[in-house]
Structure 1
Amino acid sequence: MRLEKCWFCSSTIYPGHGIQFVRNDAKIFRFCRSKCHKNFKMKRNPRKVKWTKAYRRLHGKDMTQVKEILHFDNHYSKFFCYTCCILPTCAVLCPALLKDSTFEFERKRNRPERYDRNLAENTLKAIKKIDKVRVDREARHHALRMKGKKAKEQKEAQKELEQHIHLLKAPAVLQEDPSLTLPKIKVKVSQQQSEENQAMEE
Structure 2
Amino acid sequence: MKKNSTMVYHSIYLEKKRLEIRMLKSVGHNFYTLFLSLFDQLVLGNCVLLVNLRRMRLEKCWFCSSTVYPGHGIQFVRNDAKIFRFCRSKCHKNFKMKRNPRKVKWTKAYRRLHGKDMTQDSTFEFERKRNRPERYDRNLAENTLKAIKKIDKIRSDRASDHIKNRLKTSKVQRQKEARKQLELGIHLVKAPLALAQDSSLCLPKIKVNVSQAQTEENQPMED
1:67-106 residue pairs with structure 2 within 5 A?
Answer: 99-106=120-127
Residue of structure 1 in register with 2:86 after alignment: 31
State the Cα distance separating 1:5 from its structure 2 match.
1.3
| CA pair 110-57 structure 1, distance change in 2 beyond 3 A | farther
Segment drifting more, 144-153 vs 103-112:
103-112
TM-score, length-scaled by structure 1? 0.60
The separation in 2 between residues aligned to 1:174 and 1:163, in whole angstroms, is 14
What amino acid does structure 2 have at the position aligned with 1:133? Answer: I
**1:64-117 Cα distance to aligned partner (Å, 9 max, x none):** 1xxxxxxxxxxxxxxxxxxxxxxxxxxxxxxxxxx1121222234998755321
The separation in 1 between residues aligned to 2:83 and 2:57, in whole angstroms, is 16
The separation in 2 between residues aligned to 1:110 and 1:21, in whole angstroms, is 26
Aligned: 1:125 with 2:146:
yes
1:1-150 residue pairs with structure 2 within 5 A?
Answer: 1-64=56-119, 99-108=120-129, 114-150=135-171
Identity of aligned residues (%): 82
The separation in 1 between residues aligned to 2:142 and 2:66, in whole angstroms, is 28
Q: Specify the SS of the correspondent of 2:180.
A: helix
Residue of structure 2 in register with 1:182 after alignment: none
Contact 1:2 1:110 in 2 (8 A): no
The separation in 2 between residues aligned to 1:8 and 1:129, in whole angstroms, is 28
| CA pair 107-15 structure 1, distance change in 2 beyond 3 A | farther
The separation in 2 between residues aligned to 1:135 and 1:30, in whole angstroms, is 25
| CA pair 16-160 structure 1, distance change in 2 beyond 3 A | same
State the Cα distance separating 1:49 from its structure 2 match.
0.7
Pairwise CA RMSD? 2.7
The separation in 2 between residues aligned to 1:110 and 1:14, in whole angstroms, is 24
The separation in 2 between residues aligned to 1:151 and 1:23, in whole angstroms, is 49
The separation in 1 between residues aligned to 2:148 and 2:190, in whole angstroms, is 61
Structure holding more helix per residue: 2
What amino acid does structure 2 have at the position aligned with 1:142? Answer: I
Segment drifting more, 47-56 vs 152-161:
152-161
What amino acid does structure 2 have at the position aligned with 1:20? Answer: Q
| CA pair 172-129 structure 1, distance change in 2 beyond 3 A | same
Unpaired runs of at least 5, structure 2: 1-55, 198-223
Q: Specify the SS of the correspondent of 1:102.
A: helix
The separation in 2 between residues aligned to 1:161 and 1:174, in whole angstroms, is 14
What amino acid does structure 2 have at the position aligned with 1:58? Answer: L
What amino acid does structure 2 have at the position aligned with 1:103? Answer: F
Q: Specify the SS of the correspondent of 2:111.
A: helix
The separation in 2 between residues aligned to 1:45 and 1:149, in whole angstroms, is 28
What amino acid does structure 2 have at the position aligned with 1:12? Answer: T
The separation in 1 between residues aligned to 2:151 and 2:130, in whole angstroms, is 14
State the Cα distance separating 1:121 from its structure 2 match.
1.3
Question: How many residue pairs end up in the alignment?
Answer: 142
The separation in 2 between residues aligned to 1:109 and 1:15, in whole angstroms, is 23
Residue of structure 1 in register with 2:31 after alignment: none
